[in-house]
Every structure is written in structure tokens, then in C-alpha cells.
Amino acid sequence: MTGTVLGAPDIARALTRIAHEILERNEGHDSLVLLGIPTRGVPLAHRLAARIGDVEPGFDASARAGALDITMYRDDLHRQPTRPIGETTLPTMGLDDRTVVLVDDVFHTGRTIRAALDAIKDLGRPRAVQLAVLVDRGHRELPIRADFVGKNLPTAKSERVDVHLTEVDGADEVLISGARISGEGDRA
């Protein structure tokens, strides 16, 4: 199976919905900061921050969004030790006593998020950490779940989910490719 699962309008609607859900769950924006996980989580975090700013005039989107590099916290460095270290940019108010919303494009095994949680503990002590993802494809290996999901996408382990964003790839779309094993990932 190969094809487009979400187009640009679908992604825009999902991000708008997630932004509203974040505000509702946190009763406003006072303590919110958003940290995107590179590569595509960073532009998603900035887009979510902009949408929150559209709804909440006192929310400074540029000051409340940042990037969290997790390279040195990954548990697979021994398999691929030549990874470039990215940049971590924290929101101006830091993380202490804030509600940190981690933002990523595809949520799969949970290992990336575990690494992000380890990175956060070295940078500050947030009041709470929440997770927003554009796509949750399942197949968790760790007991971690997303708080905000744009699209639940049941997949076979053999399939690949690719998120393309205008800021990185020149277009907004979510693609799925690879062989689907009969019955795996299908809904009844």
C-alpha cells in the first residue's frame, strides 16, 4: 500500500484542533512552552504556537516555541554513532515550572519520546510534560502515550509513514508506503 494519508488541508485542520485541545486541557496559555523534536517536530511546534497565539492574544508564539535535540539521549547511538548533534533552543522563560508540550511528527515505538524526557530533565524541572504528535502509528515498545494526536494511523510494522512539511520538504503531506500484511493494522 502506498499513498497520501493526509494532505495540506488535513494537516492544517489537525494542527488547529490540537492547538485548541492544548488550550482547553491547560486552561489557557500562561505556563505553556512548546518544544519540537527535530527535524519535523520543530516546524510543527512553531505552527502550533502560532495557532495558539491566534486564539490567545497574550501568547507570544516566537518566545514560547523551541527545539529539543535528543541525539545524545538516544538508545541506538551504538548502532549509528555518526549522527550530527543538533541545536536545542529553549523558550525565553525556560522550562522550570512550565507545562512543556513536546511536539513530534510521527509517534511510533516511544523511544524518541523517552530520549526527549531524559533531555528535558537535564534542562529544567517542568510542572508537567505533554506530548502532541501529528501521526500516531502505533507499535509502542515503551509505556508512553500521546496527549494530543492529529491522526491515529494503524499501520503494519512493514509500512513506513513519512511526514513532509513545507519548511523542510516543500510540501505538506503524510505518506504511507510499504507492504501491508493482510489483517495487520486493519480495523474491523
The pLDDT tens digits for 38-87 are 999 999 999 999 999 999 999 999 999 999 999 999 887 777 766 778 88
Domain boundaries, the chain: 9-154
Enumerate the β-bridge partners of residue 89.
67
Percent of the chain with pLDDT over 90: 84
Which phi and psi angles does 81 have, rounded to 5°? -70, -10
Other beta carbons within 10 Å of 59: 19
Spatial contact of 88 and 21, defined as CB atoms under 8 Å apart: no
Site of grid cell 508537567 = 128
- Is the pLDDT reported for residue 183 higher than 80? no
C-alpha cell at 89: 533552543
- What pLDDT is recorded for position 34? 98
Q: 139 pLDDT band (50/70/90 cuts)?
A: very high
What are the angstrom distances between the C-alpha of 123 and each of 86, 91, 117, 165?
A: 15, 12, 10, 28
Mode of pairing for the β-strands spanning 65-67 and 32-36: parallel
- Is the pLDDT reported for residue 181 higher than 60? no
C-alpha cell at 78: 551504538
pLDDT tens by residue, 77-101: 777 766 778 889 999 899 999 999 9
- Give CA–CA dist 55/63, Å, rounded: 16
Other beta carbons within 10 Å of 167: 13
Q: What is the CATH number of domain 9-154?
A: 3.40.50.2020
- Give CA–CA dist 18/27, Å, rounded: 14
Of 164, 163, 159, give the one whose Cα is nearest residue 178: 159
